[in-house]
Structure formats: structure tokens, C-alpha cells
Amino acid sequence: MAAAAGAFLGEGPPEMRLRLETESGVQEVTVYAAAAGGYEAQEAALSRELLARFVAGTADPRSPAAWGREHASEGTPEPAVREALLKAWARERT
């Protein structure tokens, strides 16, 4: 992961580019840096597990990326919704 250029000036969270390389090719998506302390332990653990599956090639990052594009104007979902999304994405198979 590499941080995107530019400083955070209050217009939104800092962006980063996530680059995943798999046997089927390279996927790059924009992700937003999380606020420190803004997530419960369960949500952070689910996020790490899902990221590990992306790296291992056993989960597909296109589902969360598509969801993000479709719901970007709504802002960040509530914690219970984020956890439900992470669990749903973790159940998907590639």
C-alpha cells in the first residue's frame, strides 16, 4: 500500500491506493485512511482478516470497491453496518 500524494486539508479523509497482485492480474483501488481509535476491535479484526484473504487470493476486492463506488455519497456507514458488510464480503468465494 502506498499513501496517495497530498495532505489532508479537511475536505475528506486521506486517500491511499491499495494495489493487490494476484495470478489473475493487478487490482488497484482507492481506500481511505481510518481515524485512529475509530473502530472497535471486532471490526478491526474482520478488516485484517479480509485484507489477508485479498492478499492470499481467496477473496475478491471488487465487491467492497463496487459497494464503495455505489454508496460513496452516503458517507461512512454505522459500525453495525460496516461489520455486517465485512462479514458478507468474507463469506464470498473467488
Q: What is the pLDDT of residues 38-93, one digit of tens each?
A: 678 888 889 989 989 988 888 888 999 999 999 988 988 888 999 999 999 988 87
pLDDT score of 37: 52
Q: Could you tell me the pTM of the whole model?
A: 0.59
What are the grid coordinates assigned to 71, written together?
454508496
Q: CA 29 → CA 22, 41, 78, distances in Å?
A: 14, 24, 22
The gap from C-alpha 44 to its chain's centroid, in whole angstroms, comes to 11
Distance from C-alpha of 61 to C-alpha of 43, rounded to nearest angstrom: 17
